[in-house]
Amino acid sequence: MFQQIVLWLTWVGDNIDHLPEGIFSSLGQCTKLDLGSNKISVIKKGAFNGLNNLKELYLSFNQISVIENGIFTQLISLQKLDLQFNQVSTIHNDTFNRLIGLQELSLSSNEISVIAKSAFTILTGL
Q: The whole model's pTM is what?
A: 0.94
Per domain, the residue ranges of the chain are 8-126
Q: Please check the confidence at residue 106 and state whether its pLDDT lies above 90.
A: yes
Q: Return mean pLDDT, the chain.
A: 93
Name the residue with higher pLDDT: 6 or 90.
Answer: 90
124 and 99 in contact (C-beta within 8 Å)?
A: no
Whole-angstrom distance, CA of residue 120 vs CA of residue 118: 6
Nearest to 35 by CA among 9, 53, 55, 54: 9
The pLDDT confidence band at residue 3, using thresholds 50, 70 and 90, is low
Q: Please check the confidence at residue 109 and state whether its pLDDT lies above 90.
A: yes
Give per-residue burial for 72-109: e unless 16+ CB within 10 Å, then b. bbbbeebbbbbbbbbebebbbebbbbebeebeebeeee
Residue type, 23: I
Q: What is the pLDDT of residue 6?
A: 83
CATH code at 8-126? 3.80.10.10
Q: What is the pLDDT of residue 43?
A: 93
How wide is the angle at C-alpha 81 spanned by C-alphas 61 and 4, nearest 5°? 95
Q: Please check the confidence at residue 4 and state whether its pLDDT lies above 80.
A: no
Q: Please check the confidence at residue 71 and state whether its pLDDT lies above 80.
A: yes
- Please give the share of the chain, as a percent, with pLDDT higher than 90: 79
What are the tens digits of pLDDT across the range 40-61? 999 999 999 999 999 999 999 9
Whole-angstrom distance, CA of residue 125 vs CA of residue 89: 24
Q: What is the pLDDT of residue 2?
A: 54
